[in-house]
A and B are shown apart, each in its own frame.
Chain A
Amino acid sequence: MPEQLYWEDIEVGAEITPLAKIATTQMLVRWAGASGDFNPLHYDSAYVASAGLGQVIVHGALKRQWLIQLMTDWMGDQGFLKKFSCQYGAMDYPRHMQSISEPQDGETWHCRGKVTRKYIDGEIHLVDCKVSLENGKGEITTSGKATVILPGKSTDAHPG
Protein backbone atom coordinates (compact mmCIF):
# COMPACT_ATOMS: atom_id res chain seq x y z
CA MET A 1 0.00 0.00 0.00
CA PRO A 2 1.22 3.53 -0.73
CA GLU A 3 2.27 5.91 2.01
CA GLN A 4 -0.49 7.29 4.20
CA LEU A 5 -2.13 10.50 3.00
CA TYR A 6 -2.78 13.23 5.53
CA TRP A 7 -5.51 15.83 5.30
CA GLU A 8 -2.95 18.64 5.54
CA ASP A 9 -1.19 17.36 2.42
CA ILE A 10 -4.26 17.63 0.18
CA GLU A 11 -5.34 20.72 -1.71
CA VAL A 12 -8.66 21.39 -3.43
CA GLY A 13 -8.20 20.45 -7.08
CA ALA A 14 -5.70 17.70 -6.28
CA GLU A 15 -5.95 14.70 -8.56
CA ILE A 16 -6.70 11.30 -7.08
CA THR A 17 -4.18 8.72 -8.26
CA PRO A 18 -5.91 7.22 -11.33
CA LEU A 19 -6.73 3.52 -11.48
CA ALA A 20 -6.75 1.56 -14.76
CA LYS A 21 -9.17 -1.35 -15.17
CA ILE A 22 -9.93 -3.90 -17.85
CA ALA A 23 -13.37 -5.48 -17.90
CA THR A 24 -13.37 -8.95 -19.43
CA THR A 25 -16.12 -11.48 -19.86
CA GLN A 26 -14.22 -13.58 -17.31
CA MET A 27 -14.24 -10.75 -14.79
CA LEU A 28 -18.00 -10.38 -15.23
CA VAL A 29 -18.50 -14.03 -14.39
CA ARG A 30 -16.33 -13.66 -11.30
CA TRP A 31 -18.26 -10.56 -10.30
CA ALA A 32 -21.59 -12.32 -10.81
CA GLY A 33 -20.49 -15.11 -8.48
CA ALA A 34 -18.93 -12.82 -5.88
CA SER A 35 -21.72 -10.26 -5.79
CA GLY A 36 -24.73 -12.49 -6.41
CA ASP A 37 -25.96 -10.59 -9.47
CA PHE A 38 -26.93 -13.32 -11.90
CA ASN A 39 -28.70 -11.20 -14.49
CA PRO A 40 -27.95 -12.96 -17.82
CA LEU A 41 -27.46 -9.54 -19.47
CA HIS A 42 -23.92 -9.84 -18.14
CA TYR A 43 -22.90 -13.22 -19.59
CA ASP A 44 -25.41 -14.71 -22.05
CA SER A 45 -25.11 -13.23 -25.54
CA ALA A 46 -28.22 -14.97 -26.93
CA TYR A 47 -30.27 -13.58 -24.05
CA VAL A 48 -28.69 -10.16 -24.58
CA ALA A 49 -29.72 -10.18 -28.24
CA SER A 50 -33.30 -11.12 -27.32
CA ALA A 51 -33.35 -8.15 -24.91
CA GLY A 52 -32.48 -5.81 -27.77
CA LEU A 53 -28.88 -5.16 -26.78
CA GLY A 54 -25.82 -5.74 -28.92
CA GLN A 55 -23.41 -7.30 -26.44
CA VAL A 56 -23.18 -8.36 -22.82
CA ILE A 57 -22.77 -5.34 -20.59
CA VAL A 58 -20.59 -4.62 -17.57
CA HIS A 59 -22.47 -4.67 -14.25
CA GLY A 60 -23.08 -1.18 -12.93
CA ALA A 61 -22.14 -2.39 -9.47
CA LEU A 62 -18.74 -3.58 -10.71
CA LYS A 63 -18.06 -0.09 -12.07
CA ARG A 64 -19.15 1.28 -8.71
CA GLN A 65 -16.71 -1.03 -7.00
CA TRP A 66 -13.84 0.09 -9.26
CA LEU A 67 -14.55 3.68 -8.25
CA ILE A 68 -14.68 2.66 -4.59
CA GLN A 69 -11.27 1.02 -5.05
CA LEU A 70 -10.01 4.29 -6.55
CA MET A 71 -10.88 5.91 -3.24
CA THR A 72 -9.70 3.16 -0.86
CA ASP A 73 -6.34 2.88 -2.68
CA TRP A 74 -5.88 6.64 -2.45
CA MET A 75 -6.99 7.22 1.14
CA GLY A 76 -4.77 4.48 2.60
CA ASP A 77 -5.28 2.26 5.62
CA GLN A 78 -6.00 5.15 7.94
CA GLY A 79 -8.58 6.78 5.71
CA PHE A 80 -12.28 6.02 5.97
CA LEU A 81 -14.74 6.24 3.09
CA LYS A 82 -17.67 8.12 4.62
CA LYS A 83 -19.93 8.61 1.61
CA PHE A 84 -20.00 7.36 -1.93
CA SER A 85 -22.55 7.73 -4.70
CA CYS A 86 -22.58 7.12 -8.43
CA GLN A 87 -24.90 7.06 -11.41
CA TYR A 88 -24.54 4.84 -14.44
CA GLY A 89 -24.84 7.03 -17.50
CA ALA A 90 -23.85 4.72 -20.33
CA MET A 91 -23.19 1.05 -20.89
CA ASP A 92 -19.77 -0.56 -21.04
CA TYR A 93 -18.86 -3.75 -22.88
CA PRO A 94 -16.21 -6.18 -21.64
CA ARG A 95 -13.28 -7.47 -23.66
CA HIS A 96 -13.62 -11.05 -24.80
CA MET A 97 -11.04 -13.63 -23.79
CA GLN A 98 -8.32 -14.76 -26.17
CA SER A 99 -7.08 -17.59 -23.94
CA ILE A 100 -8.12 -19.19 -20.69
CA SER A 101 -6.61 -16.30 -18.74
CA GLU A 102 -5.76 -13.50 -21.17
CA PRO A 103 -8.17 -10.94 -22.61
CA GLN A 104 -8.13 -9.85 -26.22
CA ASP A 105 -6.65 -6.46 -27.00
CA GLY A 106 -9.14 -3.68 -26.61
CA GLU A 107 -10.53 -1.12 -24.31
CA THR A 108 -8.98 -0.04 -20.99
CA TRP A 109 -11.02 1.97 -18.51
CA HIS A 110 -9.70 4.71 -16.25
CA CYS A 111 -11.08 5.66 -12.86
CA ARG A 112 -10.31 9.28 -12.08
CA GLY A 113 -11.11 11.76 -9.39
CA LYS A 114 -10.46 15.22 -8.03
CA VAL A 115 -10.73 16.83 -4.62
CA THR A 116 -13.52 19.40 -4.69
CA ARG A 117 -13.68 20.49 -1.04
CA LYS A 118 -11.61 20.24 2.10
CA TYR A 119 -13.08 20.93 5.53
CA ILE A 120 -13.19 20.10 9.22
CA ASP A 121 -16.35 19.03 11.00
CA GLY A 122 -15.71 19.10 14.73
CA GLU A 123 -12.59 16.95 15.06
CA ILE A 124 -13.10 15.17 11.75
CA HIS A 125 -10.96 16.05 8.74
CA LEU A 126 -12.80 15.51 5.48
CA VAL A 127 -12.41 15.88 1.74
CA ASP A 128 -15.13 15.71 -0.90
CA CYS A 129 -14.19 14.36 -4.31
CA LYS A 130 -15.79 13.85 -7.65
CA VAL A 131 -15.06 10.62 -9.43
CA SER A 132 -15.67 9.22 -12.87
CA LEU A 133 -15.06 6.20 -15.03
CA GLU A 134 -13.80 6.78 -18.56
CA ASN A 135 -14.09 4.18 -21.28
CA GLY A 136 -11.44 3.55 -23.93
CA LYS A 137 -12.75 6.42 -26.05
CA GLY A 138 -12.41 8.85 -23.15
CA GLU A 139 -16.17 9.05 -22.60
CA ILE A 140 -17.46 9.15 -19.03
CA THR A 141 -19.84 6.23 -18.48
CA THR A 142 -20.20 6.48 -14.69
CA SER A 143 -19.85 9.51 -12.48
CA GLY A 144 -20.07 9.99 -8.77
CA LYS A 145 -19.01 11.65 -5.56
CA ALA A 146 -17.08 10.51 -2.52
CA THR A 147 -16.41 11.91 0.93
CA VAL A 148 -13.36 10.62 2.76
CA ILE A 149 -12.21 11.07 6.34
CA LEU A 150 -8.43 11.43 6.36
CA PRO A 151 -6.14 11.41 9.34
CA GLY A 152 -4.89 14.82 10.33
CA LYS A 153 -1.27 14.99 11.39
CA SER A 154 -2.50 14.92 14.99
CA THR A 155 -5.83 13.12 14.66
CA ASP A 156 -7.07 9.66 13.88
CA ALA A 157 -9.46 9.04 10.97
CA HIS A 158 -11.00 5.67 11.17
CA PRO A 159 -13.98 5.08 13.42
CA GLY A 160 -13.32 1.34 13.74
Chain B
Amino acid sequence: MIPEEIKKLIGTSGAVQYYAVEKGAIRRFAEAVDDANPLFQDEEYARKSPYGGIIAPPGFFGWPQKQVRDSPLAVDIPPELEAAFEKAGYPLSLVLDGGMEYEFFLPVRAGDILSAVTTVRNLRERTGEGGSIIVSFLDTVYHNQAGELVAKQQLMFVRRSLNSPPPEAVHA
Protein backbone atom coordinates (compact mmCIF):
# COMPACT_ATOMS: atom_id res chain seq x y z
CA MET B 1 0.00 0.00 0.00
CA ILE B 2 1.25 3.45 -0.88
CA PRO B 3 1.09 5.61 2.28
CA GLU B 4 -1.92 7.92 2.16
CA GLU B 5 0.14 11.08 2.70
CA ILE B 6 2.03 10.31 -0.52
CA LYS B 7 -0.95 9.04 -2.50
CA LYS B 8 -3.01 12.15 -1.88
CA LEU B 9 -0.45 14.19 -3.86
CA ILE B 10 -1.37 12.55 -7.18
CA GLY B 11 -2.56 15.33 -9.46
CA THR B 12 -0.85 18.16 -7.56
CA SER B 13 1.71 20.46 -9.16
CA GLY B 14 4.77 22.30 -7.91
CA ALA B 15 5.29 26.05 -8.41
CA VAL B 16 6.36 27.42 -11.80
CA GLN B 17 10.13 27.28 -12.24
CA TYR B 18 12.05 29.42 -14.70
CA TYR B 19 15.06 28.19 -16.62
CA ALA B 20 17.54 30.36 -18.47
CA VAL B 21 19.03 28.73 -21.55
CA GLU B 22 22.48 30.23 -21.86
CA LYS B 23 24.70 29.40 -24.78
CA GLY B 24 27.67 28.62 -22.53
CA ALA B 25 25.53 26.17 -20.57
CA ILE B 26 24.41 24.53 -23.82
CA ARG B 27 28.02 24.12 -24.92
CA ARG B 28 29.04 22.69 -21.57
CA PHE B 29 26.16 20.22 -21.68
CA ALA B 30 27.09 19.10 -25.21
CA GLU B 31 30.74 18.77 -24.19
CA ALA B 32 29.81 16.62 -21.21
CA VAL B 33 28.07 14.22 -23.58
CA ASP B 34 30.99 14.37 -26.04
CA ASP B 35 28.59 15.66 -28.66
CA ALA B 36 30.38 17.91 -31.16
CA ASN B 37 27.26 18.86 -33.17
CA PRO B 38 27.96 22.42 -34.39
CA LEU B 39 24.28 23.39 -33.97
CA PHE B 40 24.97 23.38 -30.22
CA GLN B 41 28.16 25.43 -30.19
CA ASP B 42 29.20 27.04 -33.48
CA GLU B 43 27.38 30.36 -33.83
CA GLU B 44 28.24 30.93 -37.46
CA TYR B 45 27.27 27.41 -38.48
CA ALA B 46 24.04 27.56 -36.50
CA ARG B 47 23.13 30.95 -37.99
CA LYS B 48 23.22 29.46 -41.49
CA SER B 49 21.27 26.36 -40.40
CA PRO B 50 17.48 26.06 -40.62
CA TYR B 51 17.36 27.17 -36.97
CA GLY B 52 19.11 30.48 -37.56
CA GLY B 53 21.02 30.26 -34.28
CA ILE B 54 22.34 28.00 -31.57
CA ILE B 55 19.87 25.45 -30.22
CA ALA B 56 20.15 23.12 -27.26
CA PRO B 57 20.41 19.34 -27.61
CA PRO B 58 16.95 17.84 -27.09
CA GLY B 59 16.79 17.08 -23.37
CA PHE B 60 18.51 20.28 -22.21
CA PHE B 61 16.16 22.90 -20.81
CA GLY B 62 18.64 25.32 -19.27
CA TRP B 63 19.49 26.07 -15.70
CA PRO B 64 17.18 27.33 -12.94
CA GLN B 65 17.19 31.11 -13.05
CA LYS B 66 17.20 31.41 -9.30
CA GLN B 67 18.74 28.76 -7.13
CA VAL B 68 15.36 27.41 -6.15
CA ARG B 69 16.29 23.79 -6.59
CA ASP B 70 16.50 22.16 -3.18
CA SER B 71 17.28 18.76 -4.63
CA PRO B 72 20.83 17.65 -5.41
CA LEU B 73 19.36 15.93 -8.46
CA ALA B 74 18.76 17.54 -11.82
CA VAL B 75 15.04 17.43 -11.46
CA ASP B 76 12.36 19.44 -9.74
CA ILE B 77 10.51 17.03 -7.52
CA PRO B 78 7.55 18.99 -6.09
CA PRO B 79 8.62 19.83 -2.48
CA GLU B 80 5.41 18.44 -0.96
CA LEU B 81 6.04 15.08 -2.64
CA GLU B 82 9.67 15.05 -1.56
CA ALA B 83 8.69 15.82 2.05
CA ALA B 84 6.01 13.10 2.04
CA PHE B 85 8.47 10.50 0.72
CA GLU B 86 11.06 11.43 3.34
CA LYS B 87 8.52 11.26 6.12
CA ALA B 88 7.24 7.87 5.01
CA GLY B 89 10.76 6.40 4.95
CA TYR B 90 11.58 6.64 1.23
CA PRO B 91 14.67 8.87 1.42
CA LEU B 92 16.09 10.76 -1.53
CA SER B 93 19.33 8.81 -1.11
CA LEU B 94 17.48 5.69 -2.27
CA VAL B 95 16.03 7.22 -5.42
CA LEU B 96 16.81 5.71 -8.81
CA ASP B 97 16.12 7.12 -12.23
CA GLY B 98 13.90 4.60 -14.03
CA GLY B 99 13.56 6.30 -17.38
CA MET B 100 11.77 9.05 -19.18
CA GLU B 101 9.67 10.17 -22.11
CA TYR B 102 9.87 13.41 -24.08
CA GLU B 103 7.66 14.97 -26.66
CA PHE B 104 9.18 17.97 -28.39
CA PHE B 105 7.22 20.72 -30.10
CA LEU B 106 9.80 23.46 -30.71
CA PRO B 107 13.57 23.68 -30.43
CA VAL B 108 15.06 25.16 -27.26
CA ARG B 109 17.16 28.14 -28.34
CA ALA B 110 20.08 29.95 -26.74
CA GLY B 111 18.58 32.94 -24.95
CA ASP B 112 15.23 31.30 -24.20
CA ILE B 113 13.67 31.62 -20.77
CA LEU B 114 11.56 28.53 -20.20
CA SER B 115 8.83 28.11 -17.64
CA ALA B 116 8.25 24.64 -16.26
CA VAL B 117 5.47 23.16 -14.18
CA THR B 118 5.80 19.67 -12.73
CA THR B 119 2.76 17.57 -11.86
CA VAL B 120 2.63 14.29 -9.94
CA ARG B 121 0.80 12.26 -12.56
CA ASN B 122 0.79 8.87 -10.90
CA LEU B 123 2.37 6.68 -8.24
CA ARG B 124 2.62 2.93 -8.49
CA GLU B 125 3.86 0.43 -5.99
CA ARG B 126 6.00 -2.46 -7.06
CA THR B 127 6.18 -5.34 -4.67
CA GLY B 128 8.90 -7.93 -4.44
CA GLU B 129 12.28 -8.81 -2.99
CA GLY B 130 11.52 -7.71 0.52
CA GLY B 131 11.18 -3.96 0.41
CA SER B 132 8.65 -1.55 -0.93
CA ILE B 133 9.29 0.33 -4.14
CA ILE B 134 7.18 3.26 -5.30
CA VAL B 135 7.51 4.46 -8.87
CA SER B 136 6.57 8.11 -9.26
CA PHE B 137 5.63 9.52 -12.64
CA LEU B 138 6.37 13.24 -12.83
CA ASP B 139 5.13 15.25 -15.80
CA THR B 140 6.78 18.54 -16.66
CA VAL B 141 5.52 20.94 -19.31
CA TYR B 142 7.92 23.57 -20.70
CA HIS B 143 6.87 26.79 -22.40
CA ASN B 144 9.15 29.46 -23.83
CA GLN B 145 9.05 33.23 -23.22
CA ALA B 146 6.59 33.64 -26.09
CA GLY B 147 4.18 31.30 -24.30
CA GLU B 148 4.69 28.56 -26.90
CA LEU B 149 4.69 24.91 -25.87
CA VAL B 150 8.25 23.62 -26.20
CA ALA B 151 8.25 20.14 -24.66
CA LYS B 152 6.50 17.68 -22.41
CA GLN B 153 8.55 15.41 -20.21
CA GLN B 154 7.64 12.42 -18.10
CA LEU B 155 10.14 11.13 -15.58
CA MET B 156 9.91 7.79 -13.86
CA PHE B 157 11.53 7.78 -10.44
CA VAL B 158 11.96 4.65 -8.39
CA ARG B 159 11.83 5.27 -4.63
CA ARG B 160 12.92 2.53 -2.29
CA SER B 161 12.00 2.30 1.35
CA LEU B 162 14.73 2.09 3.99
CA ASN B 163 14.35 -1.69 4.36
CA SER B 164 14.42 -2.47 0.63
CA PRO B 165 17.25 -4.33 -1.11
CA PRO B 166 20.13 -2.48 -2.81
CA PRO B 167 19.54 -1.18 -6.33
CA GLU B 168 21.32 -4.08 -8.04
CA ALA B 169 18.45 -6.29 -6.97
CA VAL B 170 15.91 -3.74 -8.11
CA HIS B 171 17.37 -3.70 -11.58
CA ALA B 172 18.01 -7.41 -11.88
Which A positions have Cβ atoms within 8 angstroms of B? 1, 21, 27, 30-31, 33-39, 51-53, 59-62, 64-66, 68-69, 72-73, 77-78, 80-91, 144, 156, 158-160
Q: A82-B103, A83-B104, A87-B99 are in contact. List 12 more A-B contacts (CB 8 A).
A: A60-B96, A60-B97, A61-B100, A62-B32, A62-B33, A64-B100, A65-B59, A80-B107, A84-B102, A89-B171, A91-B168, A160-B107
19 contacts between A and B (CB under 8 A): A30-B32, A31-B32, A34-B28, A36-B69, A37-B72, A37-B75, A61-B74, A62-B32, A69-B33, A69-B37, A77-B49, A82-B103, A84-B104, A87-B98, A91-B168, A144-B99, A158-B51, A159-B107, A160-B55
Which interface class (under 10, 10 to 19, 20 to 34, 35 or more) fits B? 35 or more
Q: Compute how far the CA of A64 lies from the CA of B60 in the bound complex, rounded to whole angstroms.
A: 11
CA distance A90 to B97 in the complex (A): 11
With contact pairs A27-B34, A30-B31, A34-B28 given, residues A81 and B73 touching in the complex (Cβ less than 8 Å): no
Distance to closest chain B CB from A145 (angstroms): 9
For B172, give the chain A residue with the smallest CB separation: A90
* Residues A64 and B32 in contact, CB atoms below 8 Å apart: no
Which chain B residues numbered 24 to 61 have a C-beta less than 8 Å away from chain A? 25, 28-29, 31-35, 37-39, 49-52, 55, 57-59
B57 touching A69, Cβ below 8 Å = yes
- Decide yes or no whether B4 CB sits under 8 A from chain A: no
Q: B88 at interface (Cβ–Cβ under 8 A)? A: no
CB of B93 within 8 A of chain A?
yes
Q: How far is the CA of A158 from the CA of B25 in the complex (A)?
A: 23
